[in-house]
Amino acid sequence: MSRTTGSLTSCDIDILYKDGGFPEAATVRDAISPRDAAIEFVGTLYEGRSYERSLPASLHAPDEAYAETRLASLNWIKQTWTGGLTSALFCIRNAIVLDNAIYFQNGDEIRGIYETFRPQDLSHLPLNDPDVTFVEAARSPDTIDLIFNNGGSFNYGHWIVEDLPRLKAFWILRRLFPDKKINIVFRNYHPIIDQIRLQSIDLLLRGSEYTITRINREDAHNFERLYYASPVAVPPALKSPEALRFVASRLRRQVLGVRVKAFCRRLYANRSLPLRRKLFVDRSASYGRGLSNRHEVLAVLARYGFEIVDPLSMSFQRQVATFADARLVVGIMGAAMTNTMFCKPGSTVVHLAAQGWDDPFFWDLASACSHTCHILYGSNESIEQPNRDPFAIDVERLDKLLADLA
């Protein structure tokens, strides 16, 4: 199925976009079917409230004109992206799940759920692709199937910011159906990210009973009734502060014991250790976007008592516990820095990035989490891929910034 507005149906346009958040032009909205009798509203997860975006407390770049342009761009988003996106739980009858898309049978026609075909979502494997296999799996009448994925679920940052909060639907279903089993429909990607995603589900649902059905990209699964938690965000710069607070506060509580033990170990090694941590989020050069002057940067950070952490080497539980007690985080802009959502409100985040990488996602995340944001751009030789190639940070500028923050 190709993405044509005439073949797409919203779960419910009036519910989801009543406060804004529709990601396309009004003409597109008018061309989409606003709802269908096969899609039943179950309950609201998060209201679409607007939130105040603060411009970065500081933004520096090798080219002053570039820095001014970036501030103007962020200010435009601040003034323009108002309103919010409501997230809700729906029950879709006669649903088909393929890749990250959801379809449903409408008479003799198969229609797509618009909320899984937004322009921010990656293209899907079409139903008529020759590699698609229709899987007929036996499903128990005592089991409820829940799905909450999106086109960016393969990325750690998009998963914890945009997907994990939608798991709030689990508790709505548990209240409505106390005697039924809840099964989570889980799209497979790569073993490494899948392991972390499964750990995050397990930590958030700790103490609850549930099952997981893992599906592959090319397998189309039929569901007589499928419960779907709609998106909480419109990448790159519209998020749900309420959704982020729900996940962060719950997970901070879940790892409280781990945090206490870690603090006791650090205190035993250093009696003058502060309660709140200062972290530098490192990034392996093999993943690209590394610091070409890493040793000089580390020398500056060491003078201010920063710990070097590599989230890639940590379990999900340890990542949450590490960032939950940080008051100042410096790191290379990327998925690992979305862990700052676990820092408490009022924390400070310093993003390091190459000049030319203009993604507002991380600045917006800081605003949604009530964090103070600083952005320090560095220089590299790449014009086509500034977010891939190594870059150098002005260590004198970094030293001054950290001195001011200290």
Residue 335 has pLDDT above 90, yes or no: yes
pLDDT of res. 275:
60
Give bridge partners of residue 58 from the DSSP assignment: 374
C-alpha to C-alpha distance for 360 and 59, rounded to whole angstroms: 13
Q: How far is CA 133 from CA 35, 92, 102, 129, 153, in A?
A: 28, 21, 15, 9, 22
**What value does the mean pLDDT take over residues 222-227?**
95
Residue 140 has pLDDT above 90, yes or no: no
pLDDT of res. 2:
47
Q: Phi/psi zone of residue 82: left (φ > 0), alpha (ψ -120 to 50 degrees), beta?
A: beta
The length of the chain in residues reads: 406
Number of neighbours of residue 85 by Cβ within 10 angstroms:
26
Residue 293 has pLDDT above 50, yes or no: yes
3-state class of 221 per DSSP? strand
Residue 288 has pLDDT above 90, yes or no: no
Residue 139 has pLDDT above 60, yes or no: yes
CB 119 within 8 A of CB 156: no
**What value does the mean pLDDT take over residues 168-183?**
98
**What value does the mean pLDDT take over residues 117-121?**
88
Cα 121 vs. chain centroid, distance in angstroms? Answer: 13
User: Residue 266 — very low, low, confident or very high, per pLDDT cuts 50/70/90?
Assistant: confident
CB 93 within 8 A of CB 180: no
The two counts, helices (H) then strands (E), for the chain are 12, 16
Q: What are phi and psi of 40, to 5 degrees?
A: -110, 130
User: Residue 382 — very low, low, confident or very high, per pLDDT cuts 50/70/90?
Assistant: low
- Whether a cis peptide bond, with omega within 30° of 0, leads into 241 is no
pLDDT of res. 297:
97
pLDDT of res. 145:
97
**What value does the mean pLDDT take over residues 17-25?**
90
Higher pLDDT, 396 or 122: 396
Tokens of 262: 């870690």
Give bridge partners of residue 33 from the DSSP assignment: 9
